[in-house]
Amino acid sequence: MKSLHCVYSSNRFADQYTLDLEGFMSPHEFTATINTFNTAAWHYPPPSRFTGSINHYFICLATLILTAVIAAIHHTRQIGFILILPFTFLFTSMVVIYYRKKQKLRFESAMIHLCSCMNATENVRGINFRLTFLTPEQQIATHPSSSYAITIEFDDRFNLLHHFSLNIPPSYSTSITISPPLYDVDVAKPTNAYYPLKE
């Protein structure tokens, strides 16, 4: 069984046609299929990954808040008012985490549902679609910022059976045509036939 990974990168799935697809999908069918996945991904995008710059931004922000709280405690005696800052930061972090989790679930649900719809029609041709999560090794090999891919699996047995069924002629003819004779046939009665006597 062959498989092809269409990695999700730069807000779209890879749509480059390869020779592994020959015999299973035409370039037009492959492009139309991937465009369907890209349209669904555009409507339900996954959460963006935290890159190095965003991580540094959050670390600097947390350090700044912690320094401000320590300085405020040292110079003032109103601890209740000062504790508003870390709790506000904690609440904001929880809202961001919840939103990203919900965005991730919506993306995965949309892709899994679309794979199920594709499989309902393409399984008869030996083609199977599924959403896969890239391992860290696969992410390094393909694209460091990618986490998802649409894996297209091809069953070679179906392609082999289809190939042989096209090359082997059937053992019987499905259409029989008998043409009329091109010459006159003189049917003579045999001389030794029995004829009843007429009264």
Which DSSP string do the residues of 126-145 spell out, in sequence order? TEEEEEEEPPHHHHHHS-TT
Which comes out higher in pLDDT, residue 137 or 2? 2
Asked whether the predicted pLDDT for residue 191 surpasses 80, the reply is no
CB atoms within 10 A of CB 73: 13
Its sign, for the CA torsion 66, 72, 77, 82, is: negative
Render pLDDT for 135-171 as a digit per residue (tens, 0 to 9).
Answer: 766 654 555 556 888 998 887 776 555 554 444 444 3
| Domain chopping of the chain, boundaries | 2-167
Instruction: Give the predicted TM-score (pTM) of the model.
Output: 0.65
- Cα–Cα distance between 156 and 158 in angstroms, integer? 5
Asked whether the predicted pLDDT for residue 102 surpasses 60, the reply is yes
Q: Tell me what pLDDT residue 17 has.
A: 84
The count of residues in the chain is: 199
Its sign, for the CA torsion 160, 161, 165, 170, is: positive
Helix (H) or strand (E) holding 87: helix 84-122
Say if residues 104 and 139 touch (Cβ distance below 8 Å): no
From 6, 1, 15, select the one nearest 130 (Cα to Cα): 6
